[in-house]
A and B are shown apart, each in its own frame.
Chain A
Amino acid sequence: MASIFRFLLRYRTIILFVILESVSCVLIFNNSSYQKTQFAAYIDHVKGIIYEKYAGIKQYFSLHDENKKLVAENLELHNKLNQYINRDTIHSGVVMNILNRPAYSYKTARIIRNSTNKQQNFMILNTGSKQGVRPEMGVISSDGKMIGMIVKTSPNYSSAVSILNMGFIKFSGKLKRTGNYGTISWNGISINTVQLNDIMQQSDVVIGDTVTTNQHSGVFPENILIGTVEKINIKDGIFYEIDVKLSQDMKLLQNVYIVDIHDKDEIKTLLEDE
């Protein structure tokens, strides 16, 4: 018995090391359950308040540029609206039939914190579960480009994983022209480039092709712009690795939209039943 004690005492640093590392590893691999706890939500809430104050100051200095963007967006929307009004008067019956139930809707949000310098980049948005935001909703920029997905919500804030993440979440994307689809990942090298994988090598891809989201994941609606094909790398195996130049500058994000696909849960239960 005494020798056991002597052993424990002698190697106490190493034993402590092993215990602490084991605890850490358990935490790392059970991460998802921690994210749901009340405590994590509380920390996010406090941080949200502080970052919102900070973002308010930052936003004040970029008001000018934001205004310009809003004016441009307004103009574009007005033009679009005109087209619809004109069409409505001619084929109103048809439009009503198509639009009898909207498939998805948008919520507005503001980014109060955004990182681009990590290997897993996250954004914090100032709308949360009280405003109806739930995990697995898509996030798109104010100009309508895909930028991330909500992973966690607290009552008034939510955090979204950015498209710039290495292996944390894979988004799905497709080539708009041919409809071929694959997964979007990031190799962590440039913040303007992501990679489109799983496109067969004999398929038809040209530099400059548009890459958009597809509906399969149920996170985004069809045809939200991601970027354009910049370079086609031929790798061993049967797939291309295509470099996609992002259309959105990930450093210049402030106002964003969150996409709520209405029938997502219904589709999901059908998939799970299969």
Chain B
Amino acid sequence: MNDFVKYSLWFVFLVLLQEFVFNNIQFIHFLSPYIYIFLILILPFNMHSSLVMLIAFGLGLSVDVISGGILGAHAATCTATALFRNFIIKATIPRAEYESISTSTAMQIKWRTFVVYAFLLVFSHHFILFLLEILSFENVIFTLLRILISSIISTVFIILIKLLFNRTTKRSIT
């Protein structure tokens, strides 16, 4: 499938999934999982960081518009997350793993590497977003706890999504 079509479908799917499923999950009152950044995770490693940043900004803005919260909060967060993505890739993924294939994405790396990479990216996203949402440093400990637990839950959901789609992609190849 054409890459452009593939990532556009992911874009729409993740934004809708976020709004109509994950924004309604409220099992513990202060936790809110954000899974739509899965798209930022799976963009090819060799994609230019400016392009990643533009896509991330568009993704955040779409979530902002649909969810109806503070407009711009998710856009600002995603842009920053895209910037961090470069450093996180360099820090967590061995060079050999992403330079071996020219269009390598996070879908193809080892599970252990993926979990660390996903968690760091999710954590940096949640960290900025939650602080932006309250715009204050009151109850810092509580906010940090909320960030940490939400990051863990989001990462778990992201792993589940990857599991689900890794299987289908493998099946379609064979």
Interface residues, chain A, with chain B CB atoms under 8 Å away: 12-13, 16-17, 20-21, 23-28, 31, 34-35, 40, 43-44, 47, 50, 54, 113, 115-120, 122, 159, 166-167, 187-191, 251
Contacts and interface: CB of A to CB of B under 8 A. Distances in A.
A117 B28 contact: yes
Given A21-B76, A34-B71, A50-B20, A191 B134 contact: no
Contact of A13 (B24, B49, B73, B133): B49
Interface string B63-79: 01110111111011001
Given A117-B29, A188-B142, A31 B70 contact: yes
A140 B73 CA distance: 29
B93 interface: no
A119 B54 contact: no
Contacts of B133: 118-120
Q: Which 9 interchain pairs have the tightest Cβ spacing?
A: A27-B72, A24-B76, A28-B72, A117-B26, A24-B72, A24-B75, A20-B79, A191-B29, A20-B57
12 contacts: A12-B50, A13-B53, A17-B80, A23-B75, A27-B64, A27-B71, A28-B71, A31-B70, A44-B68, A118-B32, A187-B138, A190-B29
Q: How large is the interface on B (under 10, 10 to 19, 20 to 34, 35 or more residues)?
A: 35 or more
A241 to B, nearest CB: 12
A109 to B, nearest CB: 17
A31 B69 CA distance: 9
Interface of B: 19-20, 23-26, 28-32, 49-50, 53-54, 57, 60, 64-66, 68-73, 75-76, 79-80, 83, 130, 132-136, 138-139, 142-143
A23 B64 CA distance: 13
Contact of A43 (B26, B65, B132, B138): B65
Nearest to B49: A13
A159 B53 contact: no
Contacts of A25: 72, 76
A119 to B, nearest CB: 5
Given A20-B57, A189-B142, A13 B72 contact: no
A20 B76 CA distance: 7
Contacts of B54: 16, 20
B70 A117 contact: no
Contacts of A47: 19, 66, 68
Nearest to A33: B71
B165 to A, nearest CB: 24
Contacts of A21: 76, 79-80
A113 to B, nearest CB: 7
